[in-house]
Structure 1
Amino acid sequence: MIRPLELFVGLRYVRARRRDHFISFISLISILGITLGIAALITVLSVMNGFGKELRGRILGVVSHVTVTGPEGRLTDWREVARRVKDHPSVIGEAPYVLGQAMAARGRDVSGVFVRGVMPVEERSVSEIADKMIEGSLDALKPGEFNVVVGSALAWKLDLGVGSQVSLVVPQAQATPAGLLPRFKRFNVVGIFRIDMYEYDSGLVLVHLDDAAKLYRLGTAVTGVRLKLDALDTAPAVAQQLSLRLGPEYRARDWTREHGNFFRALQIEKTVMFVILLLIVTVAMFNVISTLVVIVTEKEADIAILRTLGLSPRSVMGVFMVQGAVVGVLGTVVGTVAGILLAYNVESIVQFLESLFRVSFLSADVYLISELPSDLHWSDVALISGASLALALLSTIYPAWRASRVQPAEALRYE
């Protein structure tokens, strides 16, 4: 097989000779630097994707994808609204709810909470709380019995268990002979759930829809209707479509309005981390530049001979671009393979290191997620590999141009 002259000579220069060991060592260091940078970049971005996916799954397992409310934050015709939104092809679940603030009190201990009134059967179609119960059952919420389901952190804070009693004090006053006093009602704890999100485990309690309506004096009205969609990414568009379908007196709000800033912050953090880690690859590319500059200096006599034999400056430039590109391609390929393997096995590796050194890198008492999830996106792999190859190509331009400018007479004067 006949190879182009530039490719043949460039590959010959890549292979070490006895007197070129130092240059080959520098090339090896450059390849290792690119490999480590690419592997670290793929692994870190995959872990950040895993964290984002895990957090989004936990948050959206509790909150609704879309909520529909009416004037003054209440719906009196929620059954009709639920019937109308159910016809939308993206809606796979709907449930009414009542939402209010309260103080949970037991003895001298108090804690601020959000009270959500639900219907247990319908709630299963829009949230995963029923599957997160560690004690009791969501079905124990019966109308008129004033039962409550609390989060695990709140249960620990107030020393609650199934069968305990807790008072909910609502920010509404009632007139008594002693003056205006806040309204409160005592509830029986019939269940404890754990989402592994402190915000919800400590600040959310569930009661039956009828009991919540009585507690907040809503009568037959509710706060709104919660909807679950078949695809999260369609929530903004579906909310806008439902607003047009229901009319201006109703308001449809999607999950990106309530938690969008949090997920946008994660995306910005991922972008910044990509730029920071890409600098590692860039530093390795500077090693490629320095290696090629040394090689050009060492090979000036060879370049002059090639020029004398008729090799054009453009071909000389191609020779050294091939040599630098080989280093960049090798580092990128090995780093990409290593990064993919690490991304797929990072959780097992972390568990092995924890058992080996008997330490916990992500303590469940401190972090929201005690494991190290990983979610490899092939688009990230393509972006990282493409950026590395582009940097490798750019890093060869100056040394190769410098080689093409070597004058044969000047280079051979002292040979």
Structure 2
Amino acid sequence: MSLAWQLASRFRRAKQTNGYISFISFSSTLGIGLGCFVLIVLLSIMNGFERELLNRILAVIPHGELYSVNSEGIRDWKSEIALLEQDDRVESIEPYTRITGMLQHKGNLRAVELTGLDMSRASHDRWLNQVSAEDWQQFKADEDSVLIGQGLMDKLELEAGDRISVLIPTATEDLSFKAPHLMHLTVAGRLKVGGEMDNYLAMMHLATASTESGVTTGAQGLRFMLKDPYSAYETMRDIGYNFDQPVYISYWMRTQGHLYNDIQLVRVVVMIALTLVIAVACFNIVSTLVMSVREKQGAIAILRTMGAPDSLIRRTFMMQGMINGVIGIVCGTVAAVVIAPNLSAIVATIESWTGITLLSGDIYFIDFLPSELQWTDVILTVVVAFTLCLLATWYPARRAVNVDPAQALNR
């Protein structure tokens, strides 16, 4: 054990005789530990939201879309899909036709966005969390069936097997008024995505959707699932600009990007705010060491007269301050590592005890508090906290080195 460490430990134990210094020292340790704990936990929550966004929303909505400029649809879309699927950036492609209309049931009207899918390409494995196996089989068996968002079904009091009508606006070349087209469908079951999408989203068969909307080629556009959803902007621009016919380009950041941007914004704000909390706690280390240096001037003077170099004095007081910081960092980090992976279960238990729902599925795209601990966040938090603690000890350690032995011993 080094001499500097022995002196730092002895000085730290000796200062317990001063109650005020002890209180400041404890508050600095508590503040650093609490800051590390909250920062890791909140970053884990943001990771959880990002994971759920990727697994829930982006499992349902396409990462990118190309849809025809004209009303005829995508020409020879089967050959186009076979060609584009050879792109290493693309995971899968499926044709679709989208219809926007008004869903009518028992005199009630609600806006609905119907997406027609090719059932020969669609798999229930992709929709496991959104559609039950029974509803999927019923939907697959009947070409005139439809899966409707849970929120929309609840608002219209729909049940599986009900007949509904959809009013589809009819576009004319001269922009003159024309009566909407009426389409009749049978409700096959519920579609549960989460959040606002449940209030307007619905799925139907591609052939029926194309026929009802007048798409003669069989598909209005192509839906892309990419291996890297976050590269959707660059990938879709590259594919769209080289497409054989004029198409509109869309990607998920245009429609659902606000969710991802909100998560990233909160992550940055949390990181900055709690780093400042840790920095404020480190100021208490400065206060503790400054008072400790003033109290130990006699001991410093004796060490100087015995030939102790400046580096020994500096390391002693830096280690004394770092002890408080390291204790806080270790305690806060260990607590966060234990709690963060189990936070969802803990919050669910508290909700069941109190009857209070923290996240409402009608507002958010999930109805529970997600959490995913990533060790990069833990390491980043520990490094930032350790660095701030180390910087906080520098100034008091310099003051200790500048103590004049003659003046200190004459007091």
When normalised by structure 2's length, the TM-score is 0.89
Bigger drift between 302-311 and 12-21 goes to: 12-21
Structure 1 residue 60 corresponds to structure 2 residue 58:
yes
Which sits farther off after the overlay, 74-83 or 350-359? 350-359
Secondary structure, aligned partner of 2:178: strand
Give deviations 1:18-41, integer Å, cap 9, x for gaps: 634543343233212211110111
Shifted more, 55-64 versus 252-261: the winner is 252-261
SS where residue 188 of structure 2 aligns?
Answer: strand
Q: Which residue of 2 aligns with 1:80?
A: 79
Letter in 1 for 2:366: I
Task: Provide the C-alpha distance between the structure 1 equivalents of 2:286 and 2:308, rounded to a whole number of angstroms.
Answer: 23
CA contact (8 A) 2:169 2:179 kept: no
Deviation of 1:147 (Å) = 2.5
Partner of 2:4: 6
Give the match for residue 321 of structure 2: 324
Q: What is the letter of the counterpart of residue 168 of structure 2?
A: V
Gaps of 5+ in 1: none
State the alpha-carbon separation in 2 of the partners of residues 261 and 353 from structure 1: 30
The whole-number CA distance in structure 2 between the counterparts of 1:4 and 1:357 is: 53
SS of match in other structure, 1:15: helix
Query: Matched residues, percent identical?
Result: 33
Q: Which residue of 2 aligns with 1:265?
A: 262
| SS, match of residue 75 in structure 2 | coil
Cα distance in 2 for residues equivalent to 1:211 and 1:63: 20
3-state DSSP of counterpart to 2:291: helix
Question: Of 283, 288, 304, which residue of structure 2 is paired with 1:286?
Answer: 283
| TM-score, structure 1 as length reference | 0.88
Q: 1:381 aligns with which of 360, 378, 382?
A: 378
Partner residue of 1:232? 229
Alpha-carbon distance, 1:206 to partner: 1.5
Q: Label 1:90 to 1:139 Cα distance change in 2 as closer, same or farther (>3 A).
A: farther
Q: How does 1:194-209 map to 2 (within 5 A)?
A: 194-199=192-197, 201-209=198-206
- Taking structure 1 as reference, are residues 83 and 367 closer, same or farther at Cα in structure 2, changes over 3 Å only? closer
Aligned position for 1:118: 117
Conserved in 1, the CA contact under 8 Å of 2:15 and 2:21?
no
- Residue 46 of structure 1: CA displacement? 0.4
Cα offset, 1:381, TM superposition:
1.0
Q: Which residue of 1 aligns with 2:37?
A: 39
Kept after mapping to 2: 8 A contact 1:93/1:126: no
Q: Which amino acid aligns with 2:36?
A: I
- Please identify, of 217-226 and 75-84, the stretch whose mean Cα deviation from structure 2 is larger: 217-226
> Does residue 394 of structure 2 align to residue 397 of structure 1?
yes
With over 3 angstroms needed to count, the CA separation of the structure-2 counterparts of 1:140 and 1:370, relative to structure 1, is closer
Tell me if structure 1 keeps the 8 A contact 2:195–2:362.
no
Deviation at 1:218, TM superposition (A): 1.2
Partner SS, residue 275 of structure 1 = helix
Residue 374 of structure 1 and its aligned partner are, at CA, apart by 0.7
1:37 & 1:363 partners in 2: Cα distance?
A: 28
Contact kept? 1:289, 1:396, Cα under 8 Å:
yes
**Counterpart in 2 of 1:107?**
106
Cα pair 1:35 1:331 within 8 Å, conserved: yes
Alignment partner, residue 27 of structure 2: 29
1:251-262 equivalence runs, <5 A: 253-262=250-259
Unaligned runs of 5+ in 2: none
Q: Secondary structure at the match of 2:37?
A: helix
Query: SS at 2:121's partner residue?
Result: helix
Instruction: State the secondary structure of the residue aligned to 2:410.
Output: coil
Q: 1:381 to 1:251 in 2, by over 3 A?
A: same
Distance 1:249 1:198, change over 3 A: closer
